[in-house]
Amino acid sequence: MYSAWNDMDEPSVFSTSTKTMPLDAIHVKADGTQYEHRDVHNAYGGLMQKASYNGMKKRDDYNRRPFVLTRSFFLGSQKFGAYWTGDNRSIYSEIEGSMTMILQLGNAGHPFGGSDVPGFYGMPTEDMWVMFYQMGMYYPFMRAHTHIDFPNREPWMQTQRVQEAIRDSLNRRYDLIHYIYTTFERTTHTAEPLMRTMWNEFPDQQIMWDVSS
């Protein structure tokens, strides 16, 4: 069983030009040591995710496994949950971009991630709906998500072609679910990425070194 938590885990301050906490804001440790925000910004998300995970474990009387989803993460965050790639747009370059980002992060030690399908902002074309779901079915973490200003994203509100593509993608995902689960289990022991580049799979074949994805 799981208990779930979803948050950005980052200090969002939309009234500033950087949309985050002022870089000269002061953080104070329990022992009185002070740090400017510029020195701890990147670690902030990872520490928030760790705190969320530990807090859920502490308050859960059923000893369920926490599922923590975050947008901001850091070294070691892979021990405490999954990530999503941020507020992506419904444009074609985001489909390839999501694959590249997830592959790179997998090689950097963060295997459990995905992007918003079919893009967080914008109005996807029919082709984009199809391509995003066909890509998303292979993400380690797959979810459909959208911004409040772009409603009517429910699958059953789309064209017949898009509905069939979504249904097929989800069915294929469930067809692979035992393989995906087994790959997750292996990843926890070996740190191998869940989504892998061709050179991950075929390191002895030099031709694969130049395949970007």
Q: Are residues 123 and 68 in the same domain?
A: no
Residue 43 maps to a domain: yes
Tell me the two tokens of residue 153: 């994203």
Domain of residue 166: give its range.
112-213
Q: Per residue in 195-205, pLDDT tens? A: 999 998 899 99
pLDDT for the residue numbered 1: 53
Longest dimension (CA), the chain: 61
Q: Are 197 and 121 in a shared domain? A: yes
d(CA 24, CA 146): 33
Summarize pLDDT for 159-187 with one digit per residue, the tens: 999 999 999 999 999 999 999 999 999 99
Does residue 53 share a domain with residue 135?
Answer: no
Is residue 27 pLDDT above 60, yes or no?
Answer: yes
Tell me the C-alpha distance between 206 and 57, whole Å: 46
List CB contacts of 86: < 8 A, sequence separation 6 or more: 71, 115
Q: Which member of 7, 60, 168, 192 is catalytic? A: 7
Of 158, 149, 83, 147, nearest to 115 by C-alpha is 83
Query: Could you say which of 9, 10, 94, 116 is catalytic?
Result: 10
Q: For residue 55, what is the enclosing H or E element? A: helix 37-59
* Dist. CA 178–CA 182, nearest whole Å: 6
Q: What is the rounded distance in angstroms from the CA atom of residue 45 to the CA atom of residue 93?
A: 26
Average pLDDT over residues 111-126: 96
If asked whether residues 78 and 164 sit together in one domain, one would say: no
**Residue 10 appears among annotated catalytic residues:** yes
100: in domain: no
* 98 occurs within a structural domain: no
Average pLDDT, the chain: 91
| CA Rg value for the chain | 19
Asked whether residue 138 is domain-assigned, the answer is yes
For 49-110, give the DSSP string.
HHHHHHHHHHH-TT-PEEEEEES---TTGGGT-EEE--S-BSSHHHHHHHHHHHHHHHHTT-
Out of 31, 36, 87, 116, which one is annotated catalytic?
Answer: 87
149 flagged as catalytic:
no
Concerning whether 185 is annotated as a catalytic residue, the answer is no
